[in-house]
């Protein structure tokens, strides 16, 4: 079946299978390989992308369900002010080590900070509960978010 959707602001028409995942469609058909496959069962958050602004695990999200919707991946964050700030802050704070979880963290954080530009640390930790990082211990990621928020407030 054909689905027509917007990916990172670009209109796409893609042929997908009935049980195909959004992750498969992005990586295999659209060659947007920034989105990573981790657990493939909605546990680790590495594959997080935004669908109509909401962070979803693309590995368990139906590709067909994206019909008419807007999908944002880590590739699209280069054109997003908040996405760029977060990426720079991740690099500066050491929030990226092996990097496999990073696209998922960035997309989740973009959604969270768009809704609430200044979450408290407990709110932030709860919002990030679905993103697993095995390298950083999370502290540097939280530092990067704090730096992003204070940097944006100064501007």
* CA–CA distance, 66 with 27 (Å, rounded to integer): 15
Question: Strand locations in the chain, DSSP E?
Answer: 2-7, 10-15, 48-51, 54-57, 70-72
Rounded CA separation 70/54 (Å): 10
Q: Name which position in 9, 15, 28, 54 contacts another protein (CB under 8 A).
A: 54
Q: Which of 15, 126, 137, 139 binds another protein (CB under 8 A)?
A: 126
* Min separation Cβ 155 and another protein, Å: 27
Minimum CB–partner distance for residue 92 and another protein (Å): 25
Between residue 1 and residue 20, which ones bind another protein under the rule CB under 8 A? 1, 17-19
Q: What are the CA-CA distances from residue 43 to residues 32, 87, 132, 149 (Å)?
A: 21, 23, 8, 27
Q: First-to-last CA distance in the chain?
A: 47
The 78-107 contact track toward another protein, x by CB under 8 A, reads ------------------------------
Closer CB to another protein, residue 18 or residue 155?
Answer: 18
| 56 lies in the site for another protein, by CB under 8 A | yes
Complex with another protein: residue 121 or 150, whichever CB lies closer: 121
Here the tokens at position 91 are 């690099």
Among 45, 76, 95, 119, binds another protein (CB under 8 A): 45
Q: In what order do the strands lie in the sheet with 54-57?
A: 10-15, 2-7, 70-72, 48-51, 54-57
- Tokens representing 45 are 């958050």
43 contributes a contact to another protein by CB under 8 A: yes
Residues that bind another protein (CB under 8 A): 1, 17-19, 21, 40-43, 45, 48, 54-57, 59-62, 64-65, 67, 108, 112, 126-132
């Amino acid at each position: 079946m054909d689905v027509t959707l917007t990916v990172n602001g670009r209109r796409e028409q893609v042929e997908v299978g009935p049980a195909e995942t959004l992750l498969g469609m992005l990586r295999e058909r659209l060659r947007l390989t920034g989105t990573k496959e981790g657990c493939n069962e909605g546990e680790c958050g590495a594959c997080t992308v935004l669908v109509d602004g909401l962070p979803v695990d693309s590995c368990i999200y139906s590709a067909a369900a994206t019909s008419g919707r807007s999908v944002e991946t880590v590739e699209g964050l280069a054109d997003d002010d908040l996405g760029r700030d977060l990426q720079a802050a991740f690099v500066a704070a050491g929030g990226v080590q092996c990097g496999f979880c990073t696209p998922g963290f960035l997309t989740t954080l973009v959604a969270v900070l768009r809704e609430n530009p200044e979450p408290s640390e407990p709110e932030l930790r709860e919002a990030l509960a679905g993103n697993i990082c095995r390298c950083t211990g999370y502290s540097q990621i939280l530092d990067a978010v704090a730096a992003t928020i204070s940097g944006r407030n100064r501007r």
